[in-house]
Structure 1
Amino acid sequence: MTRRTTALSAAVALAASLALTGCSSPSGGGKPDLQVSGAFMPQPVMDMAGGFLTIANDGDTADKLTSVTSPLSDDVTMHETKNQAMRQVTSFDIPANGRLSLSRGGNHLMFMELKQKPKQGEKVSIELHFEKSDPIKVDLPVEAANHNPQQH
């Protein structure tokens, strides 16, 4: 009877330790901690526009930007630029303790078939959607068509 009790106690201890291990996340239990900065949209000259911003992740868990919505367009897409070629992607990685930069000549947002053409000085509302984090609402200031903060 003692052997059975010892085996049962060991099984309960093992099950408890597995349950506790299952509660902790491999990344240390942290969450993404996202902040958006440097957002802008150059004033569109056609019925499409680009959007640029930086998302900093001060958390110890990576996240992904999975989509962007806006009242300005029903078709907002994400594009990466590699070797001077642009292609649409379904998400952008935001590394833990890192950043995602969407900038002119690089990765960016595209607003297709604009419902109106915003003018310099106005703001365009967008909502960023993520794999893990709650959505973030951002107002993109509309800048001059040739605005490029990297040149300043």
Structure 2
Amino acid sequence: MGFTRYALSGAAVAALAVGGTTALAAPASAAPNTTPQKVCGSSYQTVNSAPIGSQGTVYLTYNSANGKNCVATIRTNPGTARDMGAWVYVPDTDEYAQDYGQFTSYAGPAYVYGKAHCVDWGGHIDNVYVYVTGSNCAALTEHRVTTIR
């Protein structure tokens, strides 16, 4: 099970890296006070986050009413459009969502149904990528990796 989960996670990460089945959205407008709740919706609570160097933060949120997770990558200093992405993957169900493109403030939202499942998630700004695997799994320990490409 562990190998399968990480192999599938690798496939999801690879799809993000090459822009696989990416749906390109119009650039988000700069919003200096953007929050995960403004991106994902007011009923989503932040359950985890990871810094993307000093450039911003990727947030994992959850809505207990509908069982969905949402991921958003938010820049520290909005401005000129830059390469950004946010993704979330549920290994147990193979459900994957991402938002990838040139954005001025944030990437996302990316939603999956994740109630009672571990999730893998992450985001990037320019060449700094953050990957979190095995997240929100009760007693299991998550694994975080930050890479610069």
Q: TM-score, normalised by structure 2?
A: 0.35
* Max Rg structure: 1
Higher relative contact order (CA 8 A, sep 6+): 1
